[in-house]
Amino acid sequence: MSQLHADVSIAQLSKVGEELCGDKIVVTHTKEGTIIVLSDGLGSGVKANILATLTTKIASSMLKRGIPLADVVSTIADTLPVCRQRKIAYSTLHILKVASSGLVTVVEFDCPTSFLIRDGKVQPFQLTEKVISGKLIKEGQLLLRENDLIVAVSDGIIHAGIGGLLKLGWGWKGIADQLQSIARQDCSASYISDNIIRCTEGYYLGQPGDDSTIVTVKMRKTRRLTILTGPPVDRRFDEKLVKRFLSQPGKKVVAGGTTAHIVSKVCNRPLKMDISSYSEYIPPMGHIEGVDLVTEGILTLNAVLECITNHRNERGCLERNGANLLAEMLLEADKIDIYAGKSTNPAHHNPSFPFKINVKPQVLAKLQAVLESKGKEVSIEWF
């Protein structure tokens, strides 16, 4: 079975008058898949936020270490107290553990039931009840397919409009109907989350009576991107490396003038320069048939790092140049493989310095770190 990627989107509203949201959600990416933990702290504001944060941190850190779900739930149940007045837990727990195969494990404690959308329809899936440390837990597994959606919400969305536009609130059925009306095969997870949170705010007449959170997971094919930057130290390896690069699935980028000429020579395809893409700060792009993007090397990569790190390019995100286009491709990709040549440009380093403290290794290491912080799977292989 080909690997699927869990595209996750989160949208939240804080209760009117509160600076902090009493719902907390943590998304953790591992080699095995994605772990999503949602908790709704009792009440609202700072106290609720602290309780929900404690719950999500305990659950996500234990699950990341591979600790069984039963132990995770029992630890949380034993750690968090019960409200003396209302006799309910101080926070809820909703776990979605999604493997790259599409197998999702759902755990629910004192929270609204998850929504499964398949083929544009909300469909039921079986959850079994069990008691762990005196808490009634619902748990189930399901094999998700490509384009399936699974949605988790907090109580604030369920109760939207209660006592106002909707006497009994929006309700699970009302949300299910809305999901069915907007779920299309080509819609993104962010489209679903944004639509539901806008409706929630509308039913509250812009004055949310409770913290409201939605997390949407859409299963789709993994988006892959391979970057070739810099020639290898042993130039006899040029042809083998280029052929390996061109054989990779997904989109392909060549970053570096010398590298581009090597690719052009090996595949016997002309390298054409796009002078119209030249800017004051970023060298022009090129074009080679079969390669999605051809850019200059270290200056462009450094600008890409700046753009992604600052969430913007201070010299203009709308400017059509190699750095902005490569930044967009990196942010769209799920799995990124970087083939980096150790052959160095004397203009970019001091030959007496060790390789690791030269410019390119530092830029690529920082780029890897910032992309991994955004949930990307990134590998760098040196040649």
Measured CA to CA, the distance from residue 213 to residue 100 in angstroms comes to 25
pTM, two decimals, is 0.81
DSSP string, 324-371: HHHHHHHHH-SEEEEEE-----GGGS-TTS-GGGSHHHHHHHHHHHHH
Q: What is the CATH number of domain 4-221?
A: 3.60.40.10
- Sorting pLDDT into bands at 50, 70 and 90, what band is 91? confident
Measured CA to CA, the distance from residue 88 to residue 279 in angstroms comes to 61
Whether the Cβ atoms of residue 40 and residue 213 lie closer than 8 Å to each other: yes
Is the pLDDT assigned to residue 7 strictly greater than 90? yes
pLDDT at 186: 86
pLDDT digits (tens, 9 = 90+) for 169-193: 999 999 999 999 999 888 999 999 9
Residue ranges per domain, the chain?
A: 4-221, 224-382
Tell me which amino acid residue 23 is. D
pLDDT digits (tens, 9 = 90+) for 224-265: 999 999 999 998 999 999 999 999 999 999 999 999 999 999
Q: Which two tokens stand for residue 327?
A: 């930044």
Measured CA to CA, the distance from residue 139 to residue 47 in angstroms comes to 28
